[in-house]
Amino acid sequence: MKAARSKTPRKPVLKKSSNTNLKDPVGVYCRVRPLSVQDQECCIEVISETTVQIHPPDGYRIFRNGEYRETQYTFKEVFGTLVTQKALFDVVARPLVEDLIRGKNGLLFTYGVTGSGKTHTMTGSPGDGGLLPRCLDMIFNSIGPFQAKRFVFKLDDKNGVDVQCEVDALLERQKRDAMPIPKTPSGKRQIDPEFADMISVRDHYKVEEVEEDNVYSVFVSYIEIYNNYIYDLLEEVPFDPIKPKWNSCNTPVRNGDFIPPQSKVLREDQNHNMYVIGCTEVEVKSTEEAFEVFWRGQKKRRIANTQLNRESSRSHSVFMIKLAQAPLDADGDNVLQEREQITLSQLSLVDLAGSERTNRTKAEGNRLREAGNINQSLMTLRTCIEVLRENQMYGTNKMVPYRDSKLTHLFKNYFDGEGKVRMVVCVNPKAEDYEESLQVMRFAEMTQEVEVARPVDKPLCGLTPGRRFRNQAFKDELSRRLEIRGGPIGGETEEQSVTEMLLQNFPPLPSCELLDVNDDQTLPRLIEVLEKRHRMRQMLSEEFTKNVLAFKTMLQEFDSSIVSKENYAQGKLTEKEKMIAGQKMEIERLEKKTKTLEYKIEILEKTTTIYEEDKRNLQQELESKSQKLQRQASDKRRLEARLQGMVTETTMKWEKECERRVAAKQLEMQNKLWVKDEKLKQLKAIVTEPKNEKPERPSREKDREKTFQRSVSPPPAPTAPPVRLRHRRSRSAGERWVDHKPPSNVPTETVMQPHVPHAITVAAANEKALAKCDKYMLTHQELASDGEIETKLIKGDVYRTRGGGQAVQFTDIETLKQESPTGRKRRSSTSSPAPPEDAAESEWTDVETRCSVAVEMRAGSSLGPGYQHHAQPKRRKP
């Protein structure tokens, strides 16, 4: 027993047809009930036929950190507030009834918060029946003329059904009629006015194609699951085990005759279907009788008044409709007694209790315990759906916790076995139910992803179709032939009546009364009449004898013809029997061959499955290796491109660096040569000048002019011509430049201006201009510390990147600056300050001092010539 309880047994896979591998998702539908108050705030809106949108009510985001999000949920179909019960039935329940009559199982349940209209959807209201009465009406409209008599089908206590013979069924009916409770026929049943309007469905629903050679019987049962216990609502016992009877003194009454109802137990039959042991199952023959049974159980169902619903269901109710059907025999008269030919299908209509929050319902005591059990069973249902979804989507094999709740345990065969499952999600659009409706929507969306095996079509019985009507036609023809054959008897009756009429026309007998002894007329007259009658009787006897002889002759001829026909028929029958025997042998041979081929096919299928699995594994391995090789090749190409780019970049970098160093070395050597030339000139002047003459100190203006000329652009050789003061040509003038001058720059009035010939002047750097050039220069202006405008020329080299674009590497900066002459500060490239005026006389009189000054006042800054230049400032206008 422990091993059996550890895991729910699964239904074995039947190999009846190829449909066993096909699965259909659970059909989930949404129905929005109308608001009870017209101006009430609404949080659910129907967007389309398949989509609803739910949004938080006003003020809700104040309590949720300002979050405000509208969410849309999609269903198989959405029914708005104006939908009719007929439209809902046609889409949701009608296909389930059609499958029930075709021998397939179905499950339909309503789900939602308390007060969302689940019971109204299932049961309906006066004048507008719900899904349940419409299902019953459609069933009996379809099988009405083909129903079996009562007790022909008999349900056993193991969820099976048997067929009784006519004698046993008749005894059962007599026993039922002898019961003290009167059982009126369904045709004469007086309908209870309390529910008469619910079952008076004007729409005549009917299944189009019904198997006419079968007989049907309908059995109904009604149970409820209360506090995770199963109770039979049709059991004829007092049904209030929790609340005792109370008298006028408000004290409980001890009733010794009170027998509380016993909870029922679930069991699993041989087909792994769950059923309730000892549950009352009533055979019904009409919609009225079936709904009367339902209504009798509905009165016993537990309901209570809560803050959210005046009649809130405190239990899950399950109304089960079982349809037993079996084919007629070859003659079309009686039901086949073979149990294998009986089909038992079931449609379960479930009205779930609504989930609720106790802080809103203000439940206490029993109501609080009921709400806890309701929420726990619904949570178990949600957990089972989640595990089923995970197993189907991700291929896991987790155990589904069906046994945690009686509700899920009862219907586990629908999810693990075969049958359609449909759910109607009922929602109340009022703002107070927003959070509960949100949870319901999420559960419904998850349920749609669960798939259930498609029902398998029932096997054919193999008998000739149309037996019922053929047998009826044969009976009608036989009665007609008997009537025709009974014609001569009727003719003899007519002839006999004619003979009687002739006898009545015989001469009447005269009066035989002798009143006088001398009367000699009465006797002769009587004798004469009797002689006439005797002669007529002889004539009739002779005629009758002739007719008898003729009839005997006709009978003998007829017998001889019948014998000859019988002999002919016997010969034909013998030939047919031989042919049938040969065909039977051929059929047996073909059946053996078929079995052999089926066995071979099964072996080939298994082999094919193994090969396909190997092929799939090899393909997966090949794909993984191909992807790995592709990734490696891609990584290799990427690495090669990266290394190539790095090599190219490094090569260009070192080439530029070598060029820069060579240029710097050349400039350094030129500077040294120039310095040496200057020293030689000064030494020559000192040596050649007369000693008694004092050297004149150059004026400050000439010194500034010389210094200015050397600092601006030193000549590469002592004999180089002076530099033009208007334009300074860049040392890279032979290359193509991009001259980037931002529009925000302020024009300066300096004498020296940067000028690059054949340059592309742009206001903003762009890829098109960079692609045409190999040098880049940016003119940048900023305010110096002394308040003057300082212009920087930032230069760089243009490189092509591996991605096909261009990149700029800055290599040089030139600075142009204006300064005020009032500061008397020399802004030359030398780092040593200018000597004061009073010390100039003494410094220039000494040879060593003049030589050292000539050495230190080299052109350009410490970075080398060409890297930093200063323009002669121009006085500003006051």
Alpha-carbon torsion angle 116, 120, 123, 124, nearest 10? -160
Q: Whole-angstrom Cα distance, residue 678 to residue 699?
A: 19
pLDDT at residue number 826: 44
Residue 728 Ramachandran class (φ > 0 left, ψ -120 to 50 alpha, else beta): beta
Task: Indicate if the pLDDT at residue 633 is higher than 90.
Answer: yes
Give the type of residue at 244: P
Task: Indicate if the pLDDT at residue 715 is higher than 50.
Answer: no
Task: Indicate if the pLDDT at residue 110 is higher than 90.
Answer: yes
CB proximity list for 301: less than 8 A, separation 6 or greater: 224, 233, 313, 315, 317
Range with lowest mean pLDDT among 445-449, 547-551, 656-660:
547-551
CB proximity list for 82: less than 8 A, separation 6 or greater: 34
Range with lowest mean pLDDT among 81-90, 176-185, 527-536, 630-639:
176-185
Give the type of residue at 822: T
Read off the pLDDT of each residue in 381-395 and give the average, rounded to a whole number.
Answer: 90
Task: State the pairing for strand pair 760-762/737-740.
Answer: parallel
Tell me the C-alpha to C-alpha distance, in Å, between residue 688 and each of 74, 97, 604, 692, 693. Answer: 109, 133, 121, 12, 11
Q: Whole-angstrom Cα distance, residue 583 to residue 513?
A: 86
Q: Whole-angstrom Cα distance, residue 291 to residue 298?
A: 10
pLDDT at residue number 228: 87
Task: Indicate if the pLDDT at residue 76 is higher than 70.
Answer: yes
pLDDT, the chain, mean? 77
Read off the pLDDT of each residue in 444-463 and give the average, rounded to a whole number.
Answer: 82
Task: Indicate if the pLDDT at residue 781 is higher than 90.
Answer: no
Task: Say if residue 452 is exposed, middle or buried (CB neighbours under 10 Å; 0-12, 13-18, 19+).
Answer: buried
Range with lowest mean pLDDT among 13-17, 38-42, 203-207:
13-17
On whether the CB atoms of residues 427 and 21 are closer than 8 A, the answer is no
Strand, coil or helix: 771: helix
pLDDT in tens, 567-621: 888 888 899 999 999 999 999 999 999 999 999 998 999 999 899 999 989 999 9
Q: Whole-angstrom Cα distance, residue 730 to residue 733?
A: 5
CA 463 to chain centre: 42
pLDDT at residue number 770: 86
**What predicted TM-score, i.e. pTM, was given to this entire model?**
0.53
pLDDT at residue number 369: 76
Range with lowest mean pLDDT among 434-443, 615-624, 686-695:
686-695
Q: How confident is the model at residue 305 (pLDDT cuts 50, 70, 90)?
A: low
Structural tokens at position 397: 């094999």
Read off the pLDDT of each residue in 851-861 and give the average, rounded to a whole number.
Answer: 38
Residue position matching structure tokens 């007609």: 480
Read off the pLDDT of each residue in 538-563 and give the average, rounded to a whole number.
Answer: 85
Helices (H), 689-760: 700-712
Structural tokens at position 728: 């300074």
Q: What percentage of the chain reaches a pLDDT higher than 90?
A: 28
| DSSP-assigned letters across all residues of 212-273 | TTEEEEEEEEEEEEETTEEEETT-SS---SSSPEE-TTS-EE--TT--PPPPB-EEE-TTS-
3-state secondary structure 581-629: HHHHHHHHHHHHHHHHHHHHHHHHHHHHHHHHHHHHHHHHHHHHHHHHH
Q: Whole-angstrom Cα distance, residue 354 to residue 316?
A: 9
Task: Indicate if the pLDDT at residue 423 is higher than 90.
Answer: yes
Range with lowest mean pLDDT among 100-114, 423-437, 450-464, 852-866:
852-866
pLDDT at residue number 643: 92
Between 706 and 821, the higher pLDDT residue: 821
Residue 15 phi, psi dihedral angles, 5° rounding: -105, 55
Read off the pLDDT of each residue in 77-81 and give the average, rounded to a whole number.
Answer: 93
Read off the pLDDT of each residue in 136-150 and give the average, rounded to a whole number.
Answer: 91
How many CB atoms sit inside 10 A of residue 540's CB? 13
pLDDT at residue number 51: 94
pLDDT at residue number 100: 93
Q: How confident is the model at residue 462 (pLDDT cuts 50, 70, 90)?
A: low
Between 135 and 766, the higher pLDDT residue: 135
- In the DSSP assignment, the letter for residue 398 is P
Task: Indicate if the pLDDT at residue 190 is higher than 70.
Answer: no
Q: Whole-angstrom Cα distance, residue 379 to residue 373?
A: 10
Task: Indicate if the pLDDT at residue 107 is higher than 90.
Answer: yes
Name all contacts of 683-686 with Cβ < 8 Å and 24+ positions apart. 683/851, 686/847, 686/850
pLDDT at residue number 339: 83
